[in-house]
Amino acid sequence: MKGTLTLFLFASLCLSLSAQTIAGPGQIIPVPARVVEGIGVCDALAEPEVRIDEKAFRKAAGKLVPDTPEAYLLEITTKGIKILAPGEEGAFYARRSLEQMRAGVDALQCCTIVDYPRYVYRGFMYDVSRNFRSVEFLEKQMDVMASVKMNRLHIHLTDGAGWRLQIDAFPRLTSFAAWRTADKYYDWHDRSYVDVSIPGHPAAYGGYYTKDDIRRLLAHAHERYIEIIPEIEMPSHSDEVTAAYPELSCTGEKSNDLCLGNPATMSFFKRVLDEVIELFPSEYIHIGGDEANKENWKHCPKCQALMEKEGLADADALQAWFVGEIGAYLNSRGRKMTGWDDLLDGEVPEGATVMAWWNAEAGTKAVRRGHEVIMAPAERCYIQRLPDAPRVCRSAEGIYLPTDSVYVFEPVQKDMTPAQAALIKGVSACMWTEGVDSEGFAEMLMYPRLLAMAEVGWSLPANKDLKGFRERATQYCAKLRERGYETFRLEDEYGQRKAYFQPLEHLARGKKVTYNIPVSERYPAEGPSTLTDGKQGGWSYLPGSGRWQGFLSDIDVVIDLEEVREIHYVGATFMHFYPHEVCAPSRVEVSFSDDGQHFTRAAAIDSDVPEKDTSTLFFLYGAPVSGKARYVRFQAFQGSRPWLFTDEIIVN
């Protein structure tokens, strides 16, 4: 009888457990540093016992855990839930892990989690200049950032498309330069940036944050242990400034670059920064510093006079002087400077942090020069790019950056020494919003790739697992959609261009290519073998893809087939993305020769591409031909846009 009762009670317990939904640490994003699974379950709604005690935490967690207030120990037993942390931040993050586990379940699997971040800076940069976003939108995204333990929101507040921050000393920055006459950025851009409007005008688009708006954002961020870093672009990307105050340009008219030889320019930025510093408590102030044209400085009497006075050799030195002055001013006000890796063109101010955007090599260059670095290379971190194939995903920037490519990003490059690697302070995802024209579309681009970047910044490389992340991210995004977010659906992903995986066999494969016009140094792909290696490009022309060669000119190449062959077809695929000035050619010509000197035209193909289509398109320029030749000359001619990209010249 006793045995029967025991079996009955055991069976009842099993049925009770099977009726419950149980979650464990395996679904947490980002993946924790160390997890030990236990036996049994705990009520998911149990209130945790929280203790903030650095010594007790250090004793319990062990000596291998780095000294960081963001670390925590989360213990779930059949008796309840305990949180032990060295600081308030750690306790906060323990609760975020707990929230992820308990969402929508009845019970939690018993376990012990010891967790801490890999990097102190785990950021997200959002551009509100090109397309303005509400306070509520930014608050909504900070909620997710906090959930996945991201702790820096970098807001790109100013650029040519609009000034987005109230500055009392210069009211025209918001009464005039915060508005434009086209809601679509590229419509405004194609009118050569000439249209600036005023609020109340029927066609006015834009907006700005009042100081009370910023205080509200700061309060929301503070509660979530997020630091908001303001970016005030200088001395370039400043069309909106010179539109409002044309006396600050070298020409007295609207211009991308400000006049550095005019003392009023330095005075302007110091007064702006005074108000920024008063408003934002952040350690860093981001000054941009990228993509200055510098041409006006070479001809401006004021800039030339300043260069002579300061002994500056060229325009690069002039910008470095300006950046140094601003850096010193920020230091005098108790703040640190950060800026894009264009700062490396000159002397980087002492104590400044470089944000590497051009590529990971720029970050390596910065650490070799002894500078702290935030890694945000475009090829891995620019999440305005396409999360999936252009054929199934509306274009944002026309370049393919799937979630997997973000997730596998490793900030420490192979040729860095341990001392150099220690200068990497963190990572940042970035979203530039030229083509991001709605809040829902922005969220679709952000999630799950922002989750992937969160794991890059927090988790130890040895603990990362792409397959596991995709499962966790799919579940997390489903919960986000329940809360009113729009997300990309990883489970429906189309993936890479199929041609990328299909090697080609043709007469020209492996044959020598002679370039009559050189390929661009920025986009050489795999060098001279690229156009005849039998490999086709993917959805992206980025250098890391290794398949697309870029030409800032016409294309004129000659392929040596090594012997006279009968030829029936010649063709090549071209990429077209108008917003990036990448266009299919206006015309392609194919010519044959037996001696490599005298060529006879065999075919010509004229373009019928809709030039201003902002989608990412791929066009095959191919033609049937009839003839015999040893040498095949392939020429492609630019249209009205400068860049041509092709991946393989096929000869059959």
- Residue 323 pLDDT class (50, 70, 90 cuts): very high
Q: Which residues pair with 631 in a beta bridge?
A: 560, 593
Q: For residue 394, how many C-alpha atoms fall within 13 Å in the half-sphere facing its CB?
A: 10
Compute φ and ψ for 423, nearest 5 degrees. -80, -10
- Residue 184 and residue 437 in contact, taking contact as beta carbons nearer than 8 Å: yes
Whether pLDDT at 1 is above 70: no
Alpha helices in 311-368 (DSSP H): 315-332, 360-368
* Residue pLDDT, tens place only, 186-236: 777 765 444 555 666 767 889 999 999 999 999 999 999 999 999 999 999
pLDDT at 611: 65
- 19-115 fold: Chitobiase; domain 2 (3.30.379)
> Which CATH class name applies to 498-651?
mainly beta
Token readout for 625 is: 């031909």
Which helix or strand (DSSP H or E) is residue 31 part of? none
Residues 6+ apart with CB under 8 A from 142: 153, 220, 221, 224, 226
Domains 121-426+435-459+468-492 and 498-651 belong to one CATH topology: no
Whether pLDDT at 2 is above 90: no
Q: Mean pLDDT throughout 64-69? A: 92
List the CATH code of the domain at 121-426+435-459+468-492.
Answer: 3.20.20.80
Q: Own/partner pairs for 190-199, CB < 8 Å, 24+ apart?
A: 190/612, 193/160, 193/239, 193/254, 194/254, 196/240, 196/243, 196/244, 199/175
Q: Mean pLDDT throughout 249-262? A: 94
Report how far residue 413's alpha carbon sits from residue 380's, in angstroms, rounded to the nearest whole number. 13
Report how far residue 149's alpha carbon sits from residue 70's, in angstroms, rounded to the nearest whole number. 9
Place of tokens 């908001």: 228
| Domain ranges for the chain | 19-115, 121-426+435-459+468-492, 498-651
Gyration radius from the chain CA atoms: 28
* 237: amino acid identity, one letter: H
* Residue pLDDT, tens place only, 493-549: 999 999 999 999 999 999 999 999 999 998 999 998 999 999 999 998 877 676 999
* 448 preceded by a cis bond (ω within 30 of 0): yes
- pTM equals 0.91
Report how far residue 644's alpha carbon sits from residue 390's, in angstroms, rounded to the nearest whole number. 19
SS (H, E, C) 110-175: EEEEEECCCCCEEEEEEECCCCCCCHHHHHHHHHHHHHCCCCEEEEECEECCEECECCCCCCHHHH
Whether pLDDT at 491 is above 90: yes
CB burial readout 88-98, b (16+ within 10 A) else e:
ebbbbbbbbbb
Residues 6+ apart with CB under 8 A from 273: 232, 285, 326, 329, 330, 333
